Amino acid sequence: MKKFLILAAILALFFAGCDEDSNNGNNQTMLKINNTSDYDLLSVEYSGVNFGDIESGKEIIKEVSSGTMPVFFFLQTTNGRIRCRTDMITCIENETKPFYIYNNTMITTVVTERQRTLSALMNILNNETPNPNIRVLYNDYPLASGGTIALGDIGKGQQNNVTLKITNEGEHDLVITGTRPQISGNNSAQAVAGTYSMQRISYLETAQVNIEFNPTETGSNSFVVTISNNDQTNGTYTINVTANVKNTWQRLHGQAGRRYGIYTAISNGQGGIYAGGFSSNNTAALFNINQYGNLLNTFEYNTYNGTSGYVSMGSAYNDYYSVVRGQLTNEYFITKTTSPAIQPTYIGTGDMFSDSNQQYLHMTPTGILRNITGYYFVAGSASLENVNTNVITEGRVFVHRHLDNGSFEKGVSISLNISGISADSYRVRGMALLTNGDVLLYGLAKRSGRDVAFAAAINVSNTNVGSWTQRWAATYEVSGKNNFVWGHFWDGSDIILLGGSDDGGFITKIPGNTTNGASVSGWPKTIPGIYYAVFCSGLTFSDNSGYLFAGAVGYSGGSGPHGGEDAWVVKTDKNGNLLWEKFFGGTGDDWVQSAVEVSDGFILGGASRSPSIAGQTRTGIEDIYILKINKDGTMD
């Protein structure tokens, strides 16, 4: 009995193995294609399963899904590959389906649906004139020959990419022998086409043509793209590309997840700007931007935690220089380059140590300039911290002088003295050089709980740095309002200080040779804004017709004309009387902090948090917002 049970178990295992083999070992649905014809079958496919090429006299077996489908494949003819299919075949679950292709198997061409035996079909295809058919697509939509691509409003000089796809929808291969499409028309020189991605296109395969259009003329622009290929009767396409090119433009530049923005800018000497700003929360950046708003170069440097951006920059003697706070609270760095397109290098530091009373000097640089003798001056706010207790003991300002090679030469930190203002409330926003060589510091301070604008002149002419002292200090205010100064520019022998107040832009004018800081008669004054308003930058019109001020309006409690905070551009006459004002931006917060005059307008730079501006989508948390306007403040 025991032997019988053992034998029964062995037989059960044996028959189970035989049954498993009859069902492909593990219950798989299989298709075995056997090519017994005289022709190779190329790129064979059944229900999404790729069998590859099956040469004459070969077979391939693969797992497939059950169902009823034809077998698709290509035949190689003298005129190229032709996509074909067989009649329907049925694969049953958990079984192996053998399928044979003979010379007399009925085959159907996919495009024209001609049905013949395989040998008869190959004879016809090898001896007929090819009849390919192409379709041209733009943004995945088909274009008829003679159709038009309307690019709409675009900025002069801004690169625009037009991508065309040539898809073969014909029965035969499409052979492309040209290396690029032909471009003609009034603006043909402004359009450059790349090469095709392939030379032979099979059924439903696509070649791509990339055309770069860089318009240099304003107004109505157009060019014609002609795509001509061999071996076709209906594959020559003529596409008209049109655009309305404007002299003015608005651009956004940024990266996903990052903050980008511009604080200050100067001319790059080539019709564009060289700008200082930030490219993340704690990364300072310098941007070289051409006259069309294209971002050419970005150079980045780490800064102190909680700060961002280059705070001041300038150019002199063919050098571009700037200052940025360092990674520690008691250091800053001067960078310099001979070209905005070249990586700036550190040429000096302003780290300062503890003094004789064991106090650290914390510095926040807000300005850098160079005098005619080649010295660099760096200045800003400062405070003293006890080394042992880490307690801030005194608020100050600092002025440092650096040699031509950037090395620190001498400097001083001092407490300013203005009646009614505590020394720890001074916040320096910028600096200038007065005509007598004094360093002018300006910004805001507190008096009786209110912000007041101030300026102070530091005498730096003495050889002994210990004798660098406050020559004079003054405050500027519109009665009953908070006021502060943010920036400055020169108008001949006068300095225009600009900033903000409770309800408008704040401006005042002082002589460049002043001995007491008093404003010119009739100044200061405010330019009314919408809710919150501030001027961040300004300049004198090159034709001497007035002043340009740039900044932002609208904040908490209200919004600008476009929504949120808007970029605000104002022109006044020489007496500070409003001539016109313009607002720019999207539905979110937008502002400009720099203004540079170019030959045919102004380039303004700042930042944007709007979802989109002028058809461009914001990329990062905050993007660079840069725009060009005409001299009258309009946009084309």
Give CA–CA dist 73/55, Å, rounded. 12
Query: Looking at the structure, do residues 89 and 68 belong to the same domain, yes or no?
Result: yes
What's the whole-number mean pLDDT along residues 340-369?
82
Domains: count for the chain: 3
Determine the straight-line distance between the first and last CA of the chain, rounded to whole angstroms: 104
328 part of a folded domain = no
User: Predicted confidence band at 64 (pLDDT cuts at 50, 70, 90)?
Assistant: very high
Query: Looking at the structure, do residues 82 and 156 belong to the same domain, yes or no?
Result: no
The residues, ordered by sequence, that sit 6+ positions from 282 with a Cβ below 8 Å of its Cβ are 302, 303, 304, 305, 306, 307, 308
pLDDT at position 354 over 80: no
CATH of the domain at 221: 2.60.40.10
Query: Looking at the structure, do residues 117 and 151 belong to the same domain, yes or no?
Result: no
Amino acid at 21: D
Task: Give the pLDDT of residue 323.
Answer: 93
Give CA–CA dist 106/33, Å, rounded. 15
CATH of the domain at 112: 2.60.40
Strands of the sheet containing 319-325, edge to edge, are 312-316, 319-325, 332-337, 345-349
* Strand residue runs (E) in 387-437: 392-402, 408-414, 427-433
Domain end point (choices 125, 148, 180): 125
pLDDT digits (tens, 9 = 90+) for 154-209: 888 777 888 888 888 777 777 665 545 667 766 666 777 766 555 667 777 888 88
Give the number of C-alpha atoms closer than 13 A to the C-alpha of residue 325, restricted to the C-beta side.
Answer: 24
56 part of a folded domain = yes
Q: Is the backbone of residue 89 left (phi > 0), alpha (psi -120 to 50) or beta?
A: beta
Structure tokens at 420: 């009614």
**Is residue 599 exposed (0-12), middle (13-18) or buried (19+ Cβ within 10 Å)?**
exposed
Cα 294 to the center of its chain, rounded Å: 9
Q: Which domain holds residue 225?
A: 134-246
pLDDT digits (tens, 9 = 90+) for 20-42: 333 445 689 999 999 999 999 99
**Per the confidence metrics, is the pTM higher than 0.85?**
no
Contact 417, 471 (CB under 8 A): no
Query: Looking at the structure, do residues 253 and 191 belong to the same domain, yes or no?
Result: no
pLDDT at position 616 over 70: yes
434 part of a folded domain = no
Query: Looking at the structure, do residues 257 and 169 belong to the same domain, yes or no?
Result: no
Amino acid at 241: V
Stated as kind and residue range, the H or E segment containing 234 is none
pLDDT at position 1 over 70: no
Domain end point (choices 230, 246, 262): 246
627 part of a folded domain = yes
Domain end point (choices 125, 147, 182): 125
Query: Looking at the structure, do residues 624 and 533 belong to the same domain, yes or no?
Result: yes
429 part of a folded domain = no
Task: Give the pLDDT of residue 515.
Answer: 94
Query: Looking at the structure, do residues 226 and 257 belong to the same domain, yes or no?
Result: no
pLDDT at position 3 over 60: no
612 part of a folded domain = yes
45 part of a folded domain = yes
b (16+ CB within 10 A) / e for 95-134: ebbebebeeebebebbbeebebebeebbeebeeeebebbb
The DSSP symbol for 22 reads H
Give CA–CA dist 239/198, Å, rounded. 21
